[in-house]
Amino acid sequence: MRKHIFKETEMKQLENNPNVLRVSDQTISYQSSFKLIAVEEYQKGNFLSGFYRTLELKWLPT
């Protein structure tokens, strides 16, 4: 797995997202409520990358 280092502008954008609890230059921590919904969607067979974009996490590392 490739390591992504977030730029300062990316970190600020992520911090403004209501689903994000905290951000460092290497990690994103999500709110518990967001994680529960993500697990439910995954169990329904939905792809998580599309789910993240739906819930306002429009930028994702590739």
pLDDT in tens, 46-56: 877 776 666 65
pTM exceeds 0.75 for this model: no
Cα separation, 15 vs 24, in Å, equals: 10
Position 22 scores a pLDDT of 96
Cβ(17)–Cβ(37) under 8 Å?
no
In this prediction, what percent of the chain has a pLDDT beyond 70? 79
Q: Could you tell me which residues are beta bridge partners of residue 29?
A: 22
